[in-house]
Amino acid sequence: MGSLRGISIAIFVVQALLASVALVSAQGSATPSRWQTLSGEAPVVIARGGFSGIFSDSSFGAYSLALETGPSDVILWCDVQLTNDGAGICFPDLKLDNNSKIATVFTDKPTTYLVNGVSTKGLFSIDYTLNDLGSVYLSQGIYSRTNKLDGNNYPIMTVQDTYTQLQPRGFWLNIQHDAFYAAHNLSMRSFVLSVSRNAKVTVDYISSPEVAFLRNIAPIFRRSSTKVVFRFLGPKDVEPSTNQTYDSLLTNLTFIKTFASGIIVPKSYIWPVDGALYLQPSTSIVLDAHKEGLEVFASDFYNDVPFSFNYSYDPVAEYLQFVDNGKFSVDGVLTDFPITPAAAIDCFAHIGKNASKQADLLVISNNGASGDYPGCTDMAYTKAIQDGVDVLDCPVQMTKDGIPICLGSINLIQSTDIVRTGFSNLTETVPEIMQSSGIFTYNLSWSDIKSLKPVISSPQSQYKLFRNPKFQNAGKYLKLSEFLSMANTTSSLNGVLISIENAAYLAKQGFGVTDAVLKALNEAGYDKQTTQKVMIQSSSSSVLMKFKGKTNYQLVYKIDEDIGGAQSSTIDDIKRFASAVVISKDSVFPENSAFLAGATDVVSRLQAANLSVLVQTFSNEFTSQAWDFFSDATVEINSFCAGASINGVITDFPKTSDRYRSKCLPLEMETTKFYDNELPAILLSG
């Protein structure tokens, strides 16, 4: 259990402090009058079972992490269940099977009960006393999430203990199955009344999907500060006391206003998505409810479950769609990852496209905006420019007729549909380039390559995470000269990055890629103009040496292997032919089993040698990030920028990195100190 405890400390203490640098309460980023909520105040963040995206739902660890990383007024959500002796516990479901280790304590056979008319089998809370559950520990109930924190052995907590031990600024009780408990001679009404009379517990919200229960308790709380909220389930689900579907009840908000001050609805009620996961026009539900004087809370927000492709796997972008769309704002969001809406609301809402950049971070594209369109196409480059990229990149490949083009790989199989064409018989194995076989650009003419369909990359496809399928074959590829012309006429760009690989092998085949690049740059006027800088990148020192002294181009050495422990002599050698380096994320923060395993000092050592440090590759898909980054690309970027002080990011999704630079508060240097002095010891303590 020692190693698990070490992992827990790493996430709870280290990453909470690190990530919260940019995510604490805003320094006036958005005044209350700018919010389109019912009250005009900022939307609230409701942590469902605490930070249940990382720790087990309703555990002390989950609630504590929510308080550490969420906004100062984060509301803790407790799904209330009743035990056989009438005690109220915080637990996400009637059945204890899935979110606890009850099966290791009791060998009872599952019981079958009717739940809202449906025969349901499991180990129910009503079959155990509170004392019985004292030895039952919580576990992560969503199997796609890490279970490595379950070794902390968090017990099931009562409602009272949850509040008194954590003292949240806001506390929300969700009563999901009053009718079920009543059928088993347990009174949820009596329990709620007893809690409300407890001077040590303050309940700010009570919600339920059952009309009869809320109408029963509403008069009790009419003159109190506790808000009663009606929770909508699926549109075609049937509300048990009225026998109406929830979409039918939605048409009668005036009736709901008679017993509730607000409603909570799945986010799809507000912004529907079609079967292909693309956004549809918003409904009028928020505006309609606000007209009735009802607050609207949106649920079903998760960082680690695929959502609409319109958000480019960026959970901050999704929250902004609900709170800062120019037409309306929900009054609160229910989430498993409270750090993310805290950032959206406190830092990134109401920031215009021309907001000043507060973080000194260079944003370089990786094959353009390759997270949204096939890499190195005109559409990927256009999107990267629109998304605020500083430096547009072109990995140069050579065609059979000697034309330098922009393409992410020399192997056409990786970025085109060539295997479905008549060129599929050109497959060969070239050990000097790669161990597996491929179809290489120098075997086809430029006109041949233009006839191929681009294919979007999906590096996380093994997890069923695919990129923008509607545009998976969109765009056209560009010659280097066309790329330079596009960049040269774009005033928002700081410069271009030209990547050259496999130069030695290509030279043997009669292709002078270095000379071709120099010629194209000269013809585009980059050898004379100073408006945009030119960065030449290669993993070959000999390539960079050919550019050294001939131009004022910045030379960038790409280091393919992990250099976390690079020797000083190695760094001194790099200085001979480069002024910047590209290193991997693992070189800065090594990982072990998808958790951070420490922090190196390689960035500070490289910078001490006057080398700028660029890190690759940043992607939005949560499976590309260590668990320590909470399935949030913005947290990851902040960790590298504020925690490790890197100079730039190379990213598939420039928009996410550009938005990060416009955050609402300056960097806190204390975080860097924390990393330098304490992080490795804590992370490696297990």
HEC sequence for 37-92:
CCCCCCCEEEEECCCCCCCCCCCHHHHHHHHHHCCCCCEEEEEEEECCCCCEEECC
Q: How much is the average pLDDT of 89-101?
A: 97
Tell me if 457 sits within 8 A of 467, measured CB to CB: yes
Beta-ladder partners of 393: 497
* pLDDT value at 381 more than 80: yes
Q: How much is the average pLDDT of 580-600?
A: 95
Q: Report the run of H or E that residue 335 belongs to, with start and end.
A: strand 332-335
Helix (H, G, I), strand (E, B) or coil at 10: helix
Q: Report the run of H or E that residue 186 belongs to, with start and end.
A: none
Cα three-residue angle 387-391-396, rounded to 5 degrees: 115
* pLDDT value at 678 more than 80: no
Residue matched to tokens 């009438």: 86
pLDDT digits (tens, 9 = 90+) for 654-663: 999 999 998 7
* pLDDT value at 21 more than 50: no
Q: Which is nearest to 622 in space by CA: 235, 336, 332?
A: 336
pLDDT band with cut points at 50, 70 and 90 for residue 681: very low
Beta-ladder partners of 47: 76, 335
Q: Which domains does the chain have, with CATH numbers?
A: 362-393+478-669 (3.20.20.190)
For residue 549, the tally of other CB atoms under 10 A from its CB is 7
The Cα 229–Cα 247 span in angstroms is: 16
Q: What's the confidence (pLDDT) of residue 294?
A: 98
Q: How much is the average pLDDT of 433-459?
A: 97
**What phi and psi, each to the nearest 5 degrees, are found at residue 495?**
170, -170
The Cα 242–Cα 239 span in angstroms is: 6
pLDDT band with cut points at 50, 70 and 90 for residue 4: very low
Terminal alpha carbon distance of the chain: 9
The radius of gyration of the chain's CA atoms, rounded to the nearest angstrom, is 28
Tell me if 602 sits within 8 A of 564, measured CB to CB: yes
Tell me if 471 sits within 8 A of 491, measured CB to CB: no
pLDDT digits (tens, 9 = 90+) for 518-564: 999 999 999 887 789 999 999 999 999 999 877 789 999 999 887 87
pLDDT digits (tens, 9 = 90+) for 129-144: 999 999 999 999 999 9
Average pLDDT, the chain: 91
For residue 428, the tally of other CB atoms under 10 A from its CB is 10
* pLDDT value at 676 more than 60: no
Helix (H, G, I), strand (E, B) or coil at 95: strand
The Cα 401–Cα 349 span in angstroms is: 50
* pLDDT value at 261 more than 90: yes
Q: What's the confidence (pLDDT) of residue 135?
A: 95
Percent of the chain topping pLDDT 90: 86
**Residue positions counted in the chain:** 686
Q: What's the confidence (pLDDT) of residue 354?
A: 67
pLDDT band with cut points at 50, 70 and 90 for residue 664: low
The Cα 123–Cα 531 span in angstroms is: 69
* pLDDT value at 672 more than 60: no
Q: Report the run of H or E that residue 266 belongs to, with start and end.
A: strand 262-266
Tell me if 104 sits within 8 A of 197, measured CB to CB: no
pLDDT band with cut points at 50, 70 and 90 for residue 634: very high
Q: What's the confidence (pLDDT) of residue 570?
A: 87
Cα→Cα distances 285→280, 324, 334, 372, 463, Å: 14, 16, 17, 30, 34
* pLDDT value at 6 more than 60: no
Cα three-residue angle 305-310-312, rounded to 5 degrees: 60
Q: Which is nearest to 223 in space by CA: 252, 196, 195?
A: 196
User: Would you give the DSSP letter of residue 142?
Assistant: S
The residue type of 156 is I
Higher pLDDT, 564 or 177: 177
